[in-house]
Structure 1
């Protein structure tokens, strides 16, 4: 079972693809672990999982160990709200870019960082 079209299996595959590309660089990225886990108990989530998850990565580049994580939500989108505290990072970057004149309102933005990279 591959799971939903935008579910955990897709997130894992995208992360692996980026990390495999980085492993071919000089110096190469050497993966310690890639885990997509339930934030309540840090167990791996199944492909049919819905709800919040954490994508966690640890790797080395040369002698430097890199550790990072990002929260992801799978399943139905959260309801829209006017409360600014519940805005997502994408909402904030879109607002920032729009207010600086970098993009026009409604223009799509590309997430920054290795998981936002396109192949």
Structure 2
């Protein structure tokens, strides 16, 4: 059995910063006058896949049992919340609802980033 390696606040911050960067890029691509819809849909699918994998992993009992307070208070809730927010189907149209969904996900990501105690970094 593979043992669970807990994530430090620094690692959680980097995880969220990577998601923030991807969401910002998706928003910029979606708002562009002329946008590459297949690229946006592909990158959106990558984001959802990363979140789904982390959500599924974090929901395992042995992971929750060994979780750090930062994982319990930041990582697990933000992953679940982002996964729920990003409901737009991967094959969905790039429209205002899609952009607003991404902007909502960005706000949540930034909110959780601000909750990470700087002393833990």
TM range (shorter): under 0.3
> Which protein shows a greater Rg?
1
Greater percentage in strand:
1
TM-score normalised per structure 2? 0.26
Greater percentage in helix:
2
Higher relative contact order (CA 8 A, sep 6+): 2
